[in-house]
A and B are shown apart, each in its own frame.
Chain A
Amino acid sequence: MNPLSNYAFLDESSKREIRRATLKAISIPGYQVPFASREMPIARGWGTGGLQLTLSLVGKGDRVKVIDQGADESVNAVNIKKLVSSTTGVEVTEFTASASLIQSRHRIPEEPLQADQILILQVPIPEPLRLYERSEAATRKLHSEKEYSGAYLILFEQIMRYGRVSTGADHPVMVNDRYVMAPSPIPRFDNPKMDSSDALILLGAGREKKIYAVPPHTRVVSLDFKDHPFEIESVEGRCCRLCGATGVYFDELQDNETGETFYQCNDTAHCLSLMNAEDGV
């Protein structure tokens, strides 16, 4: 642990401000609470919102897991883990089940979360209406009036252009029948995991200075139309080439020599635990 750093990097008044915003965010599900996002030792847009949430929560006895696009060992995840552990001394883990705090970019783990865990999602663009309306003052007004035609219009235009909703990730959701929310760039595959989750989900956007939350057991509905119902990405007929898993979210890879396409679990920790179980580890 770095003795020259504040515990968990942030000073206490920064943590206090983040904590106040977090509690209000939990109290108003889906509403983006503004906060004074601090300068962090990683660049904005690299998970500073999630990181600030993690640092405001972490304490002795915690086990922290950081995922970047499903992987525990990518540069972003490793750097964030290093910062958290070097300023707090807490253990880091790859195993979803043994983590108390899970900071993630672009995925919700395959393994169902428990009530004593907190999922922290990094958010690049927290405003689901941004594509439709550039002004922050105007989008705040639209949220206040529950005026969400714009959110539906974005999806409608996709259907007009492509014949289907083309959101690859970050498909907007309605939270607790009040706020339309950007679920962060998770694939549509993960959207249903937010509905009535057993664990608290916190979302932090450092660059955009917003914190919002989905409390446990809260209704989260992906936006859709009656004649164009919400659909998750189809993973039918695919299985992981390493662990053989089916029905999970996959990375699509190509063999450079043969040109053959194959699939591999996107959630590396889940893949590893399945392989370990197979080998009796």
Chain B
Amino acid sequence: MRLDTVHDIQAAYRRVVHATSFPGTVVDISEQASLVDIESHLPDPMIVLAMMLVDAEVTFYIASSDARADATVISQLTYARVATSEEAGYLFLARSGNASIASLIEAARIGSLTDPHLGATIIVEVSSLEALVSEHPGCIVLSGPGVREIAYLAIPEIDWVEPRRRQNEEYPLGVDLMLVTPAGQLASIPRTTRLEVL
């Protein structure tokens, strides 16, 4: 594989750390994604994230046009185990899966009050992602830790916003989201971020 599992994954990880620290910031992992040469129905940036985050210690779930084959690919690459969407620690939801993102988010793991870190990380493919400097009809307004005052994101698919709010109602319980485009733009929305659709 052309993707360097040490340096490229590290470079992508630092961008993910930045995105998670500053919700509303869009980072670019396209350089690393372009080095992925694995056949799957998942967008390449998702493969980079899978290699960064999952291994034999955690479980994952995939929604894609051929989830079974893709799950085999990820398992073979990382040794991670497949689980149901309710049990998985990491969910990779590609648009080709035509899955109901809303119902998957609503059924995902939210951790317990003593172990809130066991809440799932849900990686969702979106068609495009743009950080805006001012509000725009239909955009998402972000606030909370990591956001200086307010941040704006333009995302065409927003059907996950309301189920995410319900799932994260009892902070610190909740799910953490990463939104990623097929080209490799990535935004992270931890459970502490408050969202409002304009």
B190 lies within 8 A of chain A by Cβ: yes
Residues of the A chain whose Cβ atoms lie less than 8 Å from the Cβ of B18: 116
Residues of the B chain whose Cβ atoms lie less than 8 Å from the Cβ of A140: 114
Count class of interface residues, chain B: 35 or more
Task: Show 6 residue pairs from A and B whose CB-CB distance is below 8 angstroms, ordered by the A residue.
Answer: A16-B54, A26-B20, A28-B116, A31-B117, A140-B114, A217-B146
- Is there contact, CB below 8 Å, between B20 and A23? yes
CA separation between A29 and B172, bound complex, in Å? Answer: 9
- Is there contact, CB below 8 Å, between B176 and A23? yes
- Is there contact, CB below 8 Å, between B192 and A23? no
Supposing A12-B6, A176-B192, A200-B21 touch, asked if A24 and B176 sit within 8 A by C-beta, the answer is: yes
B52 lies within 8 A of chain A by Cβ: yes
Chain A residue at smallest Cβ distance from B13: A19
B172 contacts which of A26, A31, A118 (Cβ < 8 Å)?
A31
CA separation between A60 and B6, bound complex, in Å? Answer: 11
- Is there contact, CB below 8 Å, between A176 and B113? no
Closest Cβ of chain B: how far from A246's Cβ, in Å?
Answer: 29
B147 lies within 8 A of chain A by Cβ: yes
Closest Cβ of chain B: how far from A177's Cβ, in Å?
Answer: 10
Residues of the B chain whose Cβ atoms lie less than 8 Å from the Cβ of A16: 52-55
CA separation between A93 and B74, bound complex, in Å? Answer: 39
Closest Cβ of chain A: how far from B9's Cβ, in Å?
Answer: 8
B22 lies within 8 A of chain A by Cβ: yes
Interface string of A130-154 (1 = CB under 8 A from B): 0000000000110111000000000
Residues of the A chain whose Cβ atoms lie less than 8 Å from the Cβ of B22: 115, 215-216
CA separation between A217 and B149, bound complex, in Å? Answer: 8
Closest Cβ of chain A: how far from B193's Cβ, in Å?
Answer: 9
B47 lies within 8 A of chain A by Cβ: no
Closest Cβ of chain A: how far from B50's Cβ, in Å?
Answer: 11
Residues of the A chain whose Cβ atoms lie less than 8 Å from the Cβ of B117: 21, 24-25, 28, 31, 33-34
- Is there contact, CB below 8 Å, between A26 and B53? no
- Is there contact, CB below 8 Å, between A118 and B17? yes
Interface string of A1-43 (1 = CB under 8 A from B): 0000001100011011101111111111101011000000000
- Is there contact, CB below 8 Å, between B6 and A17? no
Task: Give 8 A-B pairs besides A22-B17, A59-B14 with Cβ atoms closer than 8 angstroms.
Answer: A7-B7, A17-B57, A23-B16, A27-B191, A34-B117, A144-B114, A216-B145, A217-B145
- Is there contact, CB below 8 Å, between A144 and B11? no
CA separation between A58 and B13, bound complex, in Å? Answer: 10
CA separation between A13 and B6, bound complex, in Å? Answer: 10
Chain B residue at smallest Cβ distance from A175: B145
- Is there contact, CB below 8 Å, between A215 and B21? yes
A window 107-124: CB within 8 A of B: 115-116, 118
A228 lies within 8 A of chain B by Cβ: no
- Is there contact, CB below 8 Å, between B52 and A27? no
- Is there contact, CB below 8 Å, between B190 and A217? no
Closest Cβ of chain A: how far from B141's Cβ, in Å?
Answer: 15
A245 lies within 8 A of chain B by Cβ: no
CA separation between A226 and B17, bound complex, in Å? Answer: 37
B114 contacts which of A22, A141, A219 (Cβ < 8 Å)?
A141
CA separation between A56 and B17, bound complex, in Å? Answer: 11
Chain A residue at smallest Cβ distance from B172: A28
